[in-house]
Amino acid sequence: ETGVTQTPRHLVMGMTNKKSLKCEQHLGHNAMYWYKQSAKKPLELMFVYNFKEQTENNSVPSRFSPECPNSSHLFLHLHTLQPEDSALYLCASSFMTGAVTNYGYTFGSGTRLTVV
Amino acid sequence: QKEVEQDPGPLSVPEGAIVSLNCTYSNSAFQYFMWYRQYSRKGPELLMYTYSSGNKEDGRFTAQVDKSSKYISLFIRDSQPSDSATYLCAMSANYGGSQGNLIFGKGTKLSVKP
């Protein structure tokens, strides 16, 4: 298991349901990210948090609502999703400085979401 | 034109073959280039990174960057079945990654047959 843990691993939800994805990192990183990975598409950045503060919202629909209570935990709250939201949702963490290169992003294993 | 282009494959090779994976890009400001490897049912993991142009070698893996052609490559020598995974290129113009400015390719699915 990596230093970034995501739960649940799989989630099936109806369009009227409300659910939450959880991410926890044990690496002492201070930046956390949500990415969406769909088949035959590049990874899509959704949200970025630095020291618990949201620094980027990449034009994500309001049916996705992130929450970052501290530097180690990140949530993605889901409500009234659409079938096209079915994808693998990946959480990642990094150090805030020099993160792209020296240390890279550490990804969790993702939550496979299916909206029915 | 998309910012980063990567052939999704799939690419199937016999064990021991030399594998060449490639990405092209359009943004001349990109300076930091990375390769991530993603096994099935796992998240991507950083495999290699290079800064600006040139080569970098790590064991059986060699990363090359040709900024003049806006083209990056990852070579795998003596490929093994354990190398079977999806390989994603990623690149950035800025050193600090916390702004979420890492741009990924679609990934190439590689299968190495015993």
- Calpha distance A79→A64 (Å, rounded): 7
* pLDDT per residue of chain B (114 residues) written in tens, 0 to 9: 678 999 888 999 999 999 999 999 999 988 889 999 999 989 999 999 888 888 999 999 999 999 999 999 999 999 999 999 999 999 888 655 444 578 899 999 999 999
Per-residue pLDDT tens over the stretch A90-109 = 999 987 664 444 557 899 99
What whole-number distance in Å separates Cα of residue B79 and Cα of residue B37?
Answer: 14
Answer whether A100 sits within 8 Å of B104, measured CB to CB: no
Cβ neighbours of B43 in A, within 8 Å? 2, 4, 90, 92, 107-110
The C-alpha atoms of residue A84 and residue A68 are separated, in whole angstroms, by: 25
CB contact A50 to B (< 8 Å): yes
Q: How many CB atoms lie within 10 A of CB A45?
A: 21
Which chain B residues have a beta carbon less than 8 Å from that of A45? Answer: 100, 102
